[in-house]
Structure 1
Amino acid sequence: MSSAELDLDQLSDSERTALDTYTTVTGQEPLEAIPLLRRSQWNVQIAISKFFDGEGPDPVEEDRSELHQSPPPRSNRRTQNLMSDDLTEQLSPATRSVDLAPRVDTQPENQPVYRPPFLLALLFTPFNLVYRLLCSSFRLFGTLFPFLPRFFNVTANPALQGARRNTTGRRPLGPKDTAARFIREFEEEYGSHPIPFLENGYNMALEKAHRDLKFLLVVLLSPEHDDTSSWVRNTLLAPEVVEFLSDPQNNVLVWGGNVQDSEAYQVANSLRCTKFPFAAVVVHTPNVSSTAMSVVGRIAGTTTPSEAVNRLRTVITPNQEPLERIRSTRAEQQASRSLREEQDSAYERSLAIDRERARQRREAEAARKREEQEAADRQAAEEQRQRDVTQWKLWRVQSLDAEPGPDVKDAVRVSVRLPSGDRIMRKFAPDADIEELYAVVECYEVLQQTSQTYVSAPPGYNHQYGFRLVSPMPRAVYAVEDGGTIREKIGRGGNLLVEPIEADEDADEEADEEEAVETSQ
Structure 2
Amino acid sequence: MDADTLSETQRRSLDQLQVLTNGGDTEVAMSVLDSVDWDVQRAADIIFDQNPSAPLSVSRSNETPTTVESFDIDDSEQQGLLANNSGGRGFRRVPPQSSSPLAIVSRPLRLILTILALPFHFLRALFRLFRIPLPQLPMTLSGLTLYYRTPSAPRPELKTDPRSAAERWVRSLEEETGAISLARARSRTGDAASSSVGTNTSTLTSRPGKESSEDDSERVLPDFFLGSYEEFARACAKDSDARIGCVVLVSEEHDDVPEFKRSTLTDPTFVRLMHANNFLVWGGDIRDRDAWSASQKLQATTYPFVAFVALQPRRGGASRTTAPQATLTVLSRHQGPSIPSASAPTSAQTLVAHLNDQLLPRVEPFLTRLRSQAVERENLKALENAQRERERALRAEQDRAYEESQRKDKERIQARIAQDRQAAADAKRKEAESKAEQEESDRLAHEKSLWDAKRMSWRRWGRRSFLPREPRPGMAEPARGKTIRVGARMPDGKRGVRFFGENDSLTAVFAFVDALTIPEGKEFSTDLDPISPPDDAPLGEDGLTAAMYDAGKVGEDWWGFKLVLSYPRREITWESGKRIADVEGLKAGGQVIVETVDPFARTKAKGKGKDVGETNGEDDGYVTEESD
TM-score range, shorter chain: 0.3 to 0.5
Larger radius of gyration: 1
Structure with the bigger percentage of helix: 1
What's the TM-score once normalised by structure 2's chain length? 0.35
**Greater RCO between the two (CA within 8 Å, min separation 6)?**
1
Q: TM-score, normalised by structure 1?
A: 0.42
